[in-house]
Amino acid sequence: MAEFFDIFLTWQGWLYLFILTMLEIVLGIDNIIFISIVTDNLPKIKKRKARNIGLSLALIIRLILLCGAAWIMKLTYPLFTIFDKDISWQSIVLIVGGIFLIYKSTIEMHKSVKGEEEGQQKTKSSLKAIILQIVVIDIIFSFDSIISAVGMTNGIEAETHSNPLAIIFISVIFSMIIMLIFSGAISSFISENPTIKMIALSFLVTVGILLIAEAFDSKIPKGYVYFGLVFSLIVELMNIKMRKNSALK
């Protein structure tokens, strides 16, 4: 067991822990946004419960999948070819996840644009149904998170002669604790600002498209997508501030 944590006797181990924790938090943004939006249809008393259960399940799923990290990496081997593109089990998971995200986000957009009554929306959603949706998306995002983390730590084992799995486990736990702390504030902010919710839904549609593109080995830098999200949020936050100032005059 002591050998499992030997990597933290090196400065590279601590550096990779910090980098991976930041990576897990960034990769978890879309997860938090999705959970915030699907739980918005629940009564207030159940929102926090659903968020906590959803993020706790995300942590458990990631840790279980990490135990089978070697098996997950084998899922990248091609099964068949479509349009000269190799399709693996990972590709299938990404395609299904992308379609699910696009479908769910589009439905939520339709509800918002249609102006469906808040009470009517909430009676249509049950806690079990919401948690099931969260579990599905947790599995999809966990694949992406674990494959990215394993890929980043490929070189550290040669540098330190230690198993990097401890770093990945701890970074996942740290990132999930941080997300649990801030998920309530993010959820409330999205719920209270309809325009922010629409930006968040548009972001999830884009993430769904990215997942499908990645399944067909079309690499689109996610940094551009996150930059677009942050830029849109900054513009909308300035609009919100401007409207508040105008209302005070």
d(CA 243, CA 240): 5
> In terms of pTM, does the model score above 0.85?
no
Report pLDDT for 160: 55
Q: What are the DSSP calls for 167-191, one per residue?
A: HHHHHHHHHHHHHHHHHHHHHHHHH
> How far apart are alpha carbons 244 and 130 in whole angstroms?
34
Q: What is the mean pLDDT of the chain?
A: 75
Residue 154, CB-side half-sphere exposure with 13 Å CA sphere: 7
Is it the case that residue 119 has pLDDT exceeding 50?
A: no
Q: How far apart are CA 87 and CA 78, in angstroms?
A: 5
How much is the pLDDT for 155?
Answer: 57
Nearest of 198, 61, 43, 58 to residue 122 by alpha carbon: 43
Q: What DSSP element (H or E) covers 86?
A: strand 85-88
Give the pLDDT confidence score for residue 4 in this predicted structure.
52
Expressed in angstroms, the distance from the first to the final Cα of the chain is 65
Give pLDDT, residue 52: 83
Confidence band for 227, pLDDT divided at 50, 70 and 90: confident
In tens, the pLDDT along 132-180 reads 888 788 777 777 667 666 666 655 555 555 556 777 778 788 888 888 8
pLDDT above 90 coverage of the chain, percent: 0
Which range scores top for mean pLDDT: 143-157, 188-202, 215-229?
A: 188-202
pLDDT bracket for residue 8 (50, 70, 90) = low
